[in-house]
């Protein structure tokens, strides 16, 4: 029977394949002697050292560790596995965690290992495997302290599977359990509230979603980045409810935090969303200039798709303010940057429809409305589909084409029933 390769042997093999000496591999972060000890399995590298070695050998951490025989103490192996999970190296952590689970020792509870495995599988999109591990935890008598987290993850699994009512059931139970606990873990509490709010948004309960977003903010357990994101989620929820004063308030709060973001792409994304939410409260031309500035930065970074989405929003602002020539110009710029099937093209066609109706070219206007409907149907964008479908039906009704207006409404009704059914909602 062939023996499994040790970690040291694996590192040595990759080093030789790359044509590096021990001195070259070690340069600048550890000694050549340490490399020698690691390769001969006389020294145990830390997680940080392993990451650097993998980087210098041009292999992933998972490639470096998959199928390796770890001759480590149980506790050391557990610490290494947890380090990988915290660093989001989920694929590399799974074999270590599975090995620990098979070894079965009282040093680390089986339930904790199952939870870490479930998280890894969930993050990698392996929902069936994640659900299996979570159900194993639920089946044990010792799992009560982990129950809120198990239910949170089960809610996430159901969400990924588009089983929204089940996701809501598990997440609401998670909230009940965490509120019953004597010592409430604030971080977990916030995650549950945020997941519940997002799910409620998906089923159209915007007012209830807003309540949970606000509760999460009151716990004050978020980074500036997460807080800015939550402010924007709230602004978008209130915007959909046509509560524009609250929408502007939270969009402004998000904007204040934007200067604290160190990630430029994140900052630009949040600025973009904030501008769109506040576009009705000031000079619309200033909003256009701000978005143009962001679009130019994306174009400089060769990110034409995101720039195209900016131009689509600029076109929308121009249309809302009756600047139809400018709306046409920016809509065409967006079309040049986006694929025909991109969800944002629905907005572009919606703008173009209004432009051509304004120019009394009803044939082109209706064609663009139909294109918008097709995209919104394909992308499952129910709220946008309703708005554009009703606009189309009103136009047909005004022209006296009642039969076609009725046909479109009937088609929309059937599509809505099918869409809700796919989300696990039966009317």
Give 284-335 pLDDT, tens digit per residue: 898 899 899 989 988 888 888 999 999 999 999 999 999 999 999 999 999 9
Backbone angles phi, psi at 258, to 5 degrees: -60, -35
Q: What pLDDT shows up at residue 75? A: 66
Nearest alpha-carbon partner for 308 in 349, 270, 339 = 339
Backbone angles phi, psi at 410, to 5 degrees: -65, -40
Sign of CA dihedral 75, 76, 79, 84: negative
Which residues make beta-bridge pairs with 6?
69
Rounded distance between C-alpha atoms, residue 392 and residue 378, angstroms? 18
Give 188-213 pLDDT, tens digit per residue: 899 999 999 999 988 778 889 999 99
**Pick the residue with more confidence: 383 or 152?**
152
Domains annotated for the chain, with CATH where assigned, are 1-108 (1.10.260.40)
What does the longest C-alpha to C-alpha distance in the chain come to? Answer: 87
Mean pLDDT of 115-125: 92
Concatenating the DSSP letter of every residue in 340-364 gives TT-THHHHHHHHHHHHHHHTT-HHH
Nearest alpha-carbon partner for 239 in 186, 277, 272, 274 = 277
Q: Describe the crossing of helices 344-358 and 324-337 by its angle, rounded to 10 degrees.
A: 150
> Contact 57/14 with Cβ under 8 angstroms?
yes
Give 33-78 pLDDT, tens digit per residue: 888 888 877 777 777 888 888 889 998 877 877 766 555 566 677 7
Nearest alpha-carbon partner for 81 in 108, 58, 105 = 108
Q: Residues with Cβ < 8 Å from 88, sequence gap 6 or more?
A: 123
Q: What pLDDT shows up at residue 260? A: 54
> Contact 339/345 with Cβ under 8 angstroms?
yes
């Amino acid at each position: 029977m062939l023996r499994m390769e040790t970690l040291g042997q694996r590192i040595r093999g990759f080093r030789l394949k790359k044509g590096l000496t021990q001195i070259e591999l070690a340069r600048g972060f550890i000694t050549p002697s340490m490399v020698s000890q690691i390769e001969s399995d006389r020294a145990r590298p830390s997680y940080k050292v392993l990451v650097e070695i993998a980087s210098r050998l041009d292999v992933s951490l998972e490639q470096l560790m998959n199928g390796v025989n770890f001759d480590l103490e149980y506790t050391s192996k557990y610490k290494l596995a947890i380090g990988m999970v915290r660093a989001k190296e989920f694929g590399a952590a799974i074999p270590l965690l599975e090995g620990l689970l098979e070894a079965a020792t009282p040093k680390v509870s089986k339930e904790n290992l199952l939870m870490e495995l479930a998280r890894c599988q969930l993050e990698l999109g392996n929902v069936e495997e994640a659900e299996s591990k979570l159900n194993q935890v639920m089946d044990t008598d010792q799992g009560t302290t982990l129950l809120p987290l198990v239910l949170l993850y089960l809610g996430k699994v159901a969400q990924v599977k588009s089983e929204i009512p089940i996701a809501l059931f598990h997440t609401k139970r998670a909230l009940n359990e965490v509120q019953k606990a004597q010592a409430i873990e604030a971080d977990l509490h916030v995650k549950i509230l945020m997941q519940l709010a997002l799910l409620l948004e998906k089923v159209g309960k915007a007012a209830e979603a807003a309540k949970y977003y606000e509760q999460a903010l009151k716990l004050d357990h978020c980074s500036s980045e997460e807080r800015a994101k939550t402010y924007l989620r709230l602004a978008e929820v209130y915007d959909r409810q046509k509560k524009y004063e609250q929408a502007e308030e939270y969009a402004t709060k998000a904007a204040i935090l934007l200067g604290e973001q160190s990630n430029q792409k994140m900052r630009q994304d949040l600025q973009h969303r904030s501008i769109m939410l506040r576009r009705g409260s000031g000079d619309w031309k200033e909003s256009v200039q701000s978005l143009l500035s962001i679009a130019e930065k994306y174009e400089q970074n060769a990110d034409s798709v995101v720039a195209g989405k900016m131009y689509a929003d600029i076109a929308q602002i121009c249309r809302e303010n009756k600047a139809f020539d400018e709306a046409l110009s920016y809509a065409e710029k967006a079309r040049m940057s986006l694929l025909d099937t991109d969800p944002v093209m629905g907005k572009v066609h919606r703008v173009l429809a209004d432009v051509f109706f304004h120019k009394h070219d009803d044939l082109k206007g209706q064609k663009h409305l139909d294109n918008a409907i097709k995209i919104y149907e394909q992308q499952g964008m129910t709220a946008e589909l309703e708005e554009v479908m009703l606009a189309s039906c009103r136009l047909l009704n005004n022209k006296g084409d009642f039969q076609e207006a009725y046909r479109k409404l009937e088609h929309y009704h059937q599509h809505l029933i099918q869409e809700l059914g796919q989300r696990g909602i039966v009317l």
